[in-house]
A and B are shown apart, each in its own frame.
Chain A
Amino acid sequence: MSKGYNFAYLDEQTKRMIRRAILKGVAIPGYQVPFASREMPLPYGWGTGGIQVTASVIGPNDVLKVIDQGADDTTNAVSIRRFFARTAGVKTTERTSEASLIQTRHRIPEQPLKEGQILVYQVPIPEPLRWMEPRETETRKMHALAEYGVMHVKLYEDIARFGRIASSYNYPVLVHGRYVMAPSPIPKFDNPKMDRMPALQLFGAGREKRIYAVPPYTSVKSLDFEDHPFEVQRWDKPCELCGASDTYLDEVITDDQGARMFVCSDSDACQERQKGAA
Chain B
Amino acid sequence: MSEMDAILSVRDVAKLYGGRGGCKEVSFDLWPGEVLGIVGESGSGKTTLLDCLSGRRTPDAGRIMYRGRDGEMLDVHALSEPRRRLLMRTDWGIVHQNPRDGLRMGVSAGANIGERLMAVGARHYGQIRGSANDWLERVEIDENRIDDRPMTFSGGMQQRLQIARNLVNGPRLVFMDEPTGGLDVSVQARLLDLLRRLVREMHLACIIVTHDLGVARLLAHRLMVMKDGRVIEEGLTDQVLDDPHHPYTQLLVSSVLPA
Q: Which chain A residues have a beta carbon within 8 Å of chain B's beta carbons?
A: 132, 141, 145, 147, 149-150, 152-154, 156-157, 159-161, 224-228
Of the residues A149, A160, A227, contact of B118 by C-beta under 8 Å: A149
In the complex, which of the residues B111, B119, B124 has the most CB atoms of chain A within 10 Å of its own CB atom? B111
Interface CB pairs A-B, < 8 A, 12: A141-B81, A145-B82, A145-B85, A149-B89, A152-B123, A153-B111, A156-B111, A157-B108, A225-B124, A226-B123, A227-B125, A227-B126
Whether A152 contacts B126 by the Cβ 8 Å rule is no
A153-B110 Cα distance, complex, nearest whole Å: 9
With a CB–CB cut-off of 8 A, which chain B residues contact A147? 85, 119
With a CB–CB cut-off of 8 A, which chain B residues contact A141? 81
With A160-B110, A160-B111, A161-B147 given, is the CB distance from A153 to B124 under 8 Å?
no
With a CB–CB cut-off of 8 A, which chain A residues contact B116? 149
Mark each residue of chain B from 102 to 135: 1 if its CB lies under 8 Å from any CB of chain A, else 0. Answer: 0010011011001110111011111011000000
Instruction: Output the least CB separation between A4 and chain B (Å).
Output: 50
Whether A157 contacts B111 by the Cβ 8 Å rule is yes
A228-B128 Cα distance, complex, nearest whole Å: 12
With A226-B123, A226-B124, A228-B125 given, is the CB distance from A153 to B115 under 8 Å?
yes
With a CB–CB cut-off of 8 A, which chain B residues contact A145? 81-82, 85
Instruction: Output the least CB separation between B46 and chain A (Å).
Output: 26
- The chain A residue with its CB closest to the CB of B120 is A149
Instruction: Output the least CB separation between B113 and chain A (Å).
Output: 10
Q: Which chain B residues have a beta carbon within 8 Å of chain A's beta carbons?
A: 81-82, 85, 89, 104, 107-108, 110-111, 114-116, 118-120, 122-126, 128-129, 146-147
A62-B118 Cα distance, complex, nearest whole Å: 45
With a CB–CB cut-off of 8 A, which chain B residues contact A227? 124-126
With A145-B81, A145-B85 given, is the CB distance from A156 to B120 under 8 Å?
no
A153-B165 Cα distance, complex, nearest whole Å: 13
- The chain B residue with its CB closest to the CB of A144 is B82
Top 5 A-B pairs, shortest CB-CB distance: A149-B119, A152-B118, A225-B125, A149-B118, A226-B124
- The chain B residue with its CB closest to the CB of A149 is B119
Instruction: Output the least CB separation between B5 and chain A (Å).
Output: 29
- The chain A residue with its CB closest to the CB of B110 is A160
With a CB–CB cut-off of 8 A, which chain B residues contact A149? 89, 115-116, 118-120
With a CB–CB cut-off of 8 A, which chain A residues contact B110? 156, 160
A145-B120 Cα distance, complex, nearest whole Å: 13
With a CB–CB cut-off of 8 A, which chain B residues contact A157? 107-108, 111
Instruction: Output the least CB separation between A179 and chain B (Å).
Output: 15
Other than the known A156-B111, A157-B111, what 13 A-B pairs have Cβ atoms closer than 8 Å? A132-B104, A145-B82, A145-B85, A147-B119, A149-B116, A149-B119, A153-B118, A156-B125, A160-B111, A226-B125, A227-B124, A227-B125, A228-B125
Of the residues A132, A160, A225, A228, contact of B108 by C-beta under 8 Å: A160
With a CB–CB cut-off of 8 A, which chain A residues contact B82? 145
A145-B119 Cα distance, complex, nearest whole Å: 12
Instruction: Output the least CB separation between B226 and chain A (Å).
Output: 31
Whether B104 contacts A160 by the Cβ 8 Å rule is no
In the complex, which of the residues A150, A152, A154, A225 has the most CB atoms of chain B within 10 Å of its own CB atom? A152
- The chain A residue with its CB closest to the CB of B126 is A227
Whether A153 contacts B104 by the Cβ 8 Å rule is yes
In the complex, which of the residues A145, A149, A228 has the most CB atoms of chain B within 10 Å of its own CB atom? A149
A154-B119 Cα distance, complex, nearest whole Å: 12
A150-B104 Cα distance, complex, nearest whole Å: 10
Of the residues B81, B115, B123, contact of A225 by C-beta under 8 Å: B123
With a CB–CB cut-off of 8 A, which chain A residues contact B89? 149
Whether A156 contacts B124 by the Cβ 8 Å rule is no
Whether A156 contacts B119 by the Cβ 8 Å rule is no
Instruction: Output the least CB separation between A229 and chain B (Å).
Output: 10
With A145-B81, A156-B110, A156-B114 given, is the CB distance from A150 to B123 under 8 Å?
no
Whether B115 contacts A150 by the Cβ 8 Å rule is yes
With a CB–CB cut-off of 8 A, which chain B residues contact A224? 123
A152-B124 Cα distance, complex, nearest whole Å: 10
Instruction: Output the least CB separation between B128 and chain A (Å).
Output: 6
- The chain B residue with its CB closest to the CB of A165 is B125
A159-B126 Cα distance, complex, nearest whole Å: 10
Instruction: Output the least CB separation between B149 and chain A (Å).
Output: 10
With a CB–CB cut-off of 8 A, which chain B residues contact A152? 118, 122-123
With a CB–CB cut-off of 8 A, which chain A residues contact B111? 153, 156-157, 160
With a CB–CB cut-off of 8 A, which chain A residues contact B118? 149-150, 152-153, 156
Instruction: Output the least CB separation between A135 and chain B (Å).
Output: 13
Instruction: Output the least CB separation between B126 and chain A (Å).
Output: 5
A224-B124 Cα distance, complex, nearest whole Å: 9
Whether A153 contacts B114 by the Cβ 8 Å rule is yes
Whether B125 contacts A159 by the Cβ 8 Å rule is yes
A83-B89 Cα distance, complex, nearest whole Å: 51
With a CB–CB cut-off of 8 A, which chain A residues contact B114? 153, 156
In the complex, which of the residues A132, A160, A226 has the most CB atoms of chain B within 10 Å of its own CB atom? A160
